[in-house]
Amino acid sequence: MSAVTVLVVDDSATMRSLISAVLRRDPEINVVGTAADPLEARTKIKALNPDVITLDVEMPNMNGLEFLEKIMRLRPMPVVMVSTLTQAGTDVTLAALEVGAVDAVAKPAPGVPAAEAFGDLAEKVKIAARSRVRPLEDRAVKGHEGAYHADPDHVLAIGSSTGGVEALLTILSAFPADCPATVVTQHMPASFTRSFAARLNKVSAATVSEAEDGARLKPGHVYIAPGGEAHLAVSGGRCRLVAADPVNGHRPSVDVLFGSVAQLGRPMTGVILTGMGKDGARGLLAMRQAGARTLGQDEASCVVYGMPRAAFELGAVERQLPLSRMAPAILESCAARSGAPQTVA
């Protein structure tokens, strides 16, 4: 397998050198060039055709987010954002992920040894190289239309990772105000989930919030697992934040959420979306074995077809669907039988 080629874009010569050095420590990565601003980067993209770009946010001549948007409209390719703003300015990070960045990494704080800087950058670059990116104009979302009646007892559980920001925005923006009670685990750092829930709340007719321990599951509400210190589970019709070790390398873990939903004894639907690894596969199988309807995002529409593949190969996925058809399929699965279920196009 040939090495992943990377173009490092940052206005700081020191940071370009540090990022390049970190990436070159991985024998599977080849840094083919650097650029100090988007104008230089544009020329080098054409000349070097890198597999992945690492991109700063604050740069001269053109803001990094503006350049990212141009890339995604004109020449879609994997981008990992690397910026001080990805740590303090979570809104900037989420904006980059919405526009099409595969992932985001924070620059190290002052005083952090070079050997410890960007601990997971190389791995995220390699994941990005295997990802699928789509033109920005293909990402238009459409809200739910027509009458809908959710089964008040139905619980919807969704799990996602890399590429999940776009996927969840697409799905939840199409949800009606009377959506099923929904619990979501998205692999995301602790500093991001509250801002992400607020962003989702703006685009969805449903009420979206970061989950709190003891919150009662109610139709019309979506609960996002807080990042970092606990897993999201459900018990007795309420959200539970469980302090425990990471599962499958993640906290919160999709497997923990799905496994708890499987034990509820209520009508339920499980959905596994784009992401690296296998987190959620066994939990979704438990849900299916307990009588849940289960859906998985298909390979063509995933940024990374890892988690859905693992679940499908385990027999946990009842139906695979493209992201564009996922929301109506979910609503059909969760609809009250006496209401007006939605027809999947």
Terminal CA-CA length for the chain: 40
Among 151, 178, 279, 298, the active-site one is 279
Active-site annotation holds for 161: yes
Q: In degrees rounded to 5, what are phi and psi of residue 167?
A: -60, -45
Distance CA(261)–CA(255), nearest Å, equals 10
Distance CA(58)–CA(64), nearest Å, equals 6
CA distances from 186 to 108, 161, 194, 224, 252 (A): 24, 5, 12, 8, 8
Among 10, 56, 151, 187, the active-site one is 187
- Asked, as a colleague might, if the bond just before 246 is cis with ω within 30 of 0, I would say no
Instruction: Report CA torsion sign: 165, 170, 176, 182.
Output: negative
H or E segment to which residue 40 belongs: helix 38-48
Among 131, 160, 161, 260, the active-site one is 161
Active-site residue set: 161, 187, 279
